[in-house]
């Protein structure tokens, strides 16, 4: 046994012991470090983790993910203590849309690209968007803050965005904050989508057509599976577009033996565990989320020892945010 393995086992044992003492459950997103995924009680997509934890009797939720995910857990489990091991683990895309203009984007007011209206305004907030388009419902991706969800009409995930859009009676819909997810939805509905100019720095900044061509040349027998947060031109070249849970399901059920995966590289750990006889290649080796990788076993242990960092959504935000989530969950 190497020293590293010995250290990992020591940390794991301490975490398991403290977890029992605190009556805690550990959640890990699919993009977390392998050792963090392995210590978790549940691994999965952000919202499915929060929903699963809400159904348990644990007093403490340790969420190994980023800030908005811990907020979702607090929204759905207000009577539980939600801990985010690394308080600096945020989501740049979620931060691109705010209620009160804490962040700045580009100065252009709007332009039509691929039939979608993109909002770019400097200091342009969600409240400004709602004033600009009165009566137009706002669909908020779960990758948003609790405050943004509270100002939205309904939430969506990367797997149900089309169903959510189609469930609304209006012909024009505002989708925030991911322009690539909006593009994905716009191609699958006749409704007009007004999109915020947000994007995931991992999926958008590190992928282009040349990456796809290179990967396919290197792995000609592999099936290309990408996340809808990827650029539209990359989506167009994919064999399958799916959320992380959808990717896991597709690859497990598929008869193919090789897959090129277009999402954050952390998911490969779980893909290999669930389908050990198949080969997986990340579309671009730079697809690493530094915020997801902030959380280490030491972080989890410290969170349990010191009960930090507590994420608590105030009731005046939690109630309307939960309403937006509930509306989504009511869609059959």
Q: Which of 182, 201, 220 is the last residue of a domain?
A: 201
Predicted structure pTM score: 0.91
Asked whether residue 75 is assigned to any structural domain, the reply reads yes
Percent share of the chain, pLDDT over 90: 87
| pLDDT band (50, 70, 90) for residue 8 | confident
pLDDT score of 25 more than 80: yes
Which residues form the domain of 55? 3-89+292-312
pLDDT for position 112: 41
CATH number reported for the structural domain that contains residue 162 in this entry: 3.40.50.10800
Q: What tens digit of pLDDT does each residue of 113-165 get?
A: 334 454 444 568 999 999 999 999 999 999 999 999 999 999 999 999 999 99
Q: How far is CA 160 from the centre of its chain?
A: 13
105 and 184 fall within a common domain: yes
18 and 117 fall within a common domain: no
**Average pLDDT for the chain:** 92
- Indicate the number of domains in the chain: 3
Q: Give 61's contacts (C-beta < 8 A, 6+ positions apart).
A: 24, 25, 27, 53, 73, 77, 80, 81, 82, 83
CA distance linking residue 33 with residue 289, whole number of Å: 10
| pLDDT band (50, 70, 90) for residue 206 | confident
171 and 103 fall within a common domain: yes
- Looking at per-residue pLDDT, the higher value among 64 and 1 belongs to 64
125 and 160 fall within a common domain: yes
115 φ/ψ angles, rounded to the nearest 5 degrees: 80, 10
Give the lowest-confidence range in 16-20, 117-121, 202-206, 228-232: 117-121
- Measured CA distances, 61 to 36, 65, 169, 265, 310 (Å): 15, 12, 37, 25, 10
85 and 100 fall within a common domain: no
Q: Which of 184, 201, 218 is the last residue of a domain?
A: 201
Three-state secondary-structure class, residue 321: helix
Asked whether residue 324 is assigned to any structural domain, the reply reads no
pLDDT score of 261 more than 60: yes
103 and 185 fall within a common domain: yes
Nearest to 231 by CA among 191, 262, 269, 255: 262
Asked whether residue 172 is assigned to any structural domain, the reply reads yes
Question: What is the dihedral sign for C-alpha 231, 233, 234, 239?
Answer: positive
Q: What tens digit of pLDDT does each residue of 267-315 get?
A: 999 999 999 999 999 999 999 999 999 999 999 999 999 999 999 999 9
Q: Residue 310 has what DSSP assignment?
A: B
- Residues 165/185, Cβ–Cβ less than 8 Å: yes
CA distance linking residue 152 with residue 161, whole number of Å: 14
- Residues 138/126, Cβ–Cβ less than 8 Å: yes
Asked whether residue 69 is assigned to any structural domain, the reply reads yes
57 and 123 fall within a common domain: no
Q: Which of 152, 170, 201 is the last residue of a domain?
A: 201
């Amino acid at each position: 046994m190497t020293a590293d393995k010995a250290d990992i086992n020591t940390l794991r044992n301490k975490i398991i012991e403290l977890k029992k003492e605190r009556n805690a459950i550990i959640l890990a997103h699919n993009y977390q470090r392998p050792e963090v995924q392995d210590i978790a009680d549940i691994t999965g997509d952000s919202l499915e983790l929060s929903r699963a934890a809400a159904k348990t009797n644990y007093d403490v939720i340790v969420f190994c993910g980023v800030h908005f995910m811990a907020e979702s857990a607090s929204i759905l489990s207000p009577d539980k203590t939600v801990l985010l091991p690394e308080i600096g683990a945020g989501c740049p895309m979620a931060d691109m849309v705010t209620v009160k203009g804490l962040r700045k984007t580009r100065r252009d007011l709007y332009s039509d690209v691929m039939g979608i209206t993109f909002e770019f305004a400097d200091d342009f907030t969600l409240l400004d968007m709602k004033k600009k388009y009165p009566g137009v419902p706002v669909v908020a991706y779960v990758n948003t803050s609790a405050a943004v969800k509270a100002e939205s009409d309904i939430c969506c995930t990367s797997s149900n965005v089309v169903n959510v859009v189609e469930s609304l009676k209006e012909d024009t819909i505002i989708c925030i904050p991911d322009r690539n997810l909006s593009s994905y939805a716009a191609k699958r509905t006749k409704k007009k989508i007004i999109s915020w100019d947000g994007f995931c720095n991992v999926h958008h900044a590190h992928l282009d057509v040349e990456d796809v061509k290179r990967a396919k040349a290197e792995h000609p027998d592999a099936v290309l599976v990408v996340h809808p947060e990827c650029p539209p031109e990359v989506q167009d070249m994919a064999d399958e577009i799916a959320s992380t849970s959808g990717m896991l399901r597709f690859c497990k059920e598929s008869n193919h033996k090789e897959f090129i995966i277009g999402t954050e590289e952390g998911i490969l750990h779980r893909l290999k565990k669930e389908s050990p006889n198949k080969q997986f290649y990340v579309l671009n080796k730079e697809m690493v989320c530094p915020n997801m990788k902030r959380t280490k076993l030491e972080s989890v242990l410290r969170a349990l020892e010191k009960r930090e960092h507590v994420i608590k959504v105030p009731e005046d935000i939690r109630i309307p945010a939960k309403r937006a989530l509930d509306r989504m969950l009511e869609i059959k």
